[in-house]
Structures are given as structure tokens and as C-alpha cells.
Amino acid sequence: MSTDITQLKHSFEDKSAKIGVIGLGYVGLPLCLTLADRGFATTGFDIDESKIELLSQGGSYISHIEDANIKKHVDNGRLTATCDFSQITEMNAILICVPTPLTSKREPDLSFVISTAKTIFPYLRKGQLIVLESTTYPGTCREVLCPVFENGGMKSGQDFYLAYSPEREDPGNPDFGTASIPKVVGGDGENAKNLALALYDQIVVKTVPVSSTEVAEAVKLTENIFRSVNIALVNELKVIYDKMGIDVWEVIEAAKTKPFGYMPFYPGPGLGGHCIPIDPFYLTYRAGLFDLETRFIELAGEINTRMPAHVVDVLVQELQQRFEKDIKDATILLIGLAYKKNVNDTRESPAFALIELMEAKGTKVDYYDPYVPEILPTREHTALAGRHSIEWTGAKLNDYDAALICTDHDGIDYDELVANSQLVIDTRNATNNVSKGKEKVAKA
């Protein structure tokens, strides 16, 4: 091992290294805070000036991250935030945590990764570790990032060190945060892998080295494909069992008592979040380049994508059967806009599809979400931007023909919801323990 590599490795081990994190969203900001918690001087980079200003004042824009956790590291000097990418030169390690969405044709959109690489390229210097954490298909580090970084004559594994370590964040999970989740690490060569391990060994409970960046890239896709396929399975079972008069939630609760050979997954109104609805199709794209099909992945995607329409169909039937009311004449309250409970993250939330499907039928739709007071602009649902959550009161709940539970936030009083609603469409089994009025509830 050369002297330069040894010195860089030691700077990670003694925490004298300066670490830059690019992209200060649901992955990058927790990573910054974990690095700062472990004693690293950490600089967060983002193009969103409003985020930089808020962070610099010690404020948080993510619901499950408290202001105090940011402020203490701003005050002690371990955390700074900037839009000035020229500071990349000062960093010993650069961790890239930018979005990797899909295009309108459901193909990988690596524009954020590529633009980030091009933005930091002029400020790179020899002897830096660069790690991509964004979810992507196998081959991205070698085939997409390396050519950008080597354009000026530097060589991966010789002048800079490129690694891949997929993020495993679960926003709002009280049991697992960045530091307590094992980290898979693959490098473009042994030196890159060992340097990345030296860094992540200081901040996470366990590192899991793999033989290449391609293997590490495939690990993250495999994790989320597993979830997507199994969620699609229980979504399909839900539709089948409903027709048979069987409660799928009761089935799952009983099945999970088996101590081996079964893992519970739960149905819902559709998939949300930045990972499960998107990541599997990165492998579909990559497999297509090898003339291979991904039949399970695509079928799971079809089933999960159909769930919002199934939920609306149940709503239409219940309104007609119970009240002889046409949905075009109904007023509906959607409960929960976030893609999962107890967070303000609305990325890919099925709530948007539900609202659009109902409004396409002429329905008036309001929403309530204590974590999402206003719908912010998105690329796919621009017409919904600017709408606000209603104020929660029993009297207000009475104004609606039905409440549709999309997200089962813990802080919602489901007894009050059922008591003050004419009809509740429950996609999350949130009303399972209400004491009165269960005859008003329809599972969907």
C-alpha cells in the first residue's frame, strides 16, 4: 500500500479526514449527522439554497430529524452546508447521495448522478475517495462515473478511488438509523474497497465487503426487488380473498405465527417511496441490454400499480351499495398523503394516484395529513401542488361522504374518525382496534 493510500486510510481511522456529502435529502442529511456524531468534520453540498440556509441556522426540513440534532453539530463546527462545490477540493472523501428516478418510459434516469459528477469534476484532486450511495444498476460506477472522472487524465485506483455503498435508509424507522444498519461496500479495485471500509467502519455497526462495485450495486436492487415482489403477492391475495369474504389481514396475522419459512408482508393502496416503486426497473433496463426478461419484476410492478384503481373501485361500490350514491356526487376525505406513516415523505406516494383517479370521476377530494400541511410541486403531479391539509375536527369529518385511509399515521384518532364518518375505506387495517362503528368500515 502506497504512502498516500496509507495516510488517507489513517485519516479515516483517526477521524481527521474531511468528508463531503452531496445531496441533502432523506439519505444525505442523516449520513451527514451520523458522520458528525462520530467526530468527522462534515460538509453537506446541495443546489437547493433554502436547504442550505435552514441547515446553517440549525433547522431541519425532514420531519423525523429534530432541529436540535442539527443545531448541535452546526454549533460545534462539525457540520457545515454549502452550495459552493469548489469546496470539494478540500474533501478527503466525497459521498454522493442524489436521486435516481425513472423517466416517463420507466427507464433509469441517471441525470442527477451524471450532473453531479460533471459539477464536481473540475474540483477533484488526486488522493480522494469517491463513493456513490444512490441506488442504480450494476455497472454504473465503472461505465458512467469513471469516464467522467477520468476525463482529465486521472485514473481510478491510481489517482482517485471509486467505491459503491448503497444507502439503506428507512425514514422514520425508530429501530434502525444510519449508524445501526450494516453497510455493503464494493470498490473499483482493492484499494478503493479498503479505503471505503476504513471510512464506514468508523460510522456504522458493521461493514459487509463485496468483491466489486457491480456486486454492491446488485445487492441494493435485490433487496428492493424482494420487497416489491412480495408486496405484489399480498396485494394480489388481498383482492382474491376479498372476493371470497376472507380478511387478508387476519390471514397474515395467523400465518406469521409460523416460526420458519414465512415472512409477513402487508397489502396497501399501492407502492410509495423512492425505492420500491422505482429500483426494480433499474434491473429490468439493465437485463434488457443482455436480451433478458424480468418477468417477476414487471408482473409485480403491474399488480402494485393497479392497487389505487382497485381501492377506488371498492369506494365506488361501497358508496353505491350503502347509500345509492354516485362517486361523481361524493365528497371524499383522503387520510394520509405521505407514502408511509409518521414521516413527511411523499415521494411516489399512492395518495397522488388515488386523488387523481377520484377527481377524474368528478369527485371532490380533500386530504388530511399532520405531517404534510401542503402538497409541494412534483414532476408527475403538478396540478395537485399548493393544496393544504384540512383542520381535523369531528364536525369537519361529518362533511364527507367517506374517508379513505391511505397512510396509517400513529397520531390519528381512528376511533374519532370512524365515529364521525359515514363510511371509512381502510387500506391499511388502521381501524382494526376501533371500539365502535366497525360496520362503517370497508377494507380495500
Query: How confident is the model over 176-204, as pLDDT tens digits?
Result: 999 999 999 999 999 999 999 999 999 99
Mean residue pLDDT across the chain: 96
Residues 6+ apart with CB under 8 A from 217: 136, 137, 138, 139, 140, 141, 164, 166, 186
Residues 71 and 440: their CA atoms lie apart, in Å, by: 47
Predicted TM-score (pTM) of the model is 0.93
Three cell numbers, residue 83: 452550495
Give Dmax over CA atoms of the chain in angstroms: 79
Q: How confident is the model at residue 1 (pLDDT cuts 50, 70, 90)?
A: low
Exposure b/e, 311-345, CB count within 10 A at least 16 = b: bbebbbebbeeeeebebeebebbbbbbbbbbbbbb
Q: Please choose, from the candidates 411, 398, 404, the residue with its C-alpha nearest in 3D space to the C-alpha of residue 333.
A: 404
How many DSSP H helices and E strands does the chain contain? Answer: 15, 13
At residue 172, the pLDDT reads 85
pLDDT digits (tens, 9 = 90+) for 19-39: 999 999 999 999 999 999 999
Q: What digits encode the pLDDT tens for the residues 251-278?
A: 999 999 999 999 999 999 999 988 889 9
Contact 294, 284 (CB under 8 A): yes
Quick check: helix, strand or coil at residue 260?
coil
- The strand pairing partners of 128, in sequence order, are 160
Enumerate the active-site residues. Answer: 275
Nearest to 26 by CA among 346, 407, 320: 346
pLDDT (average), residues 41-64: 96
Domains, the chain, ordered by start: 3-210 (3.40.50.720), 230-443 (3.40.50.720)
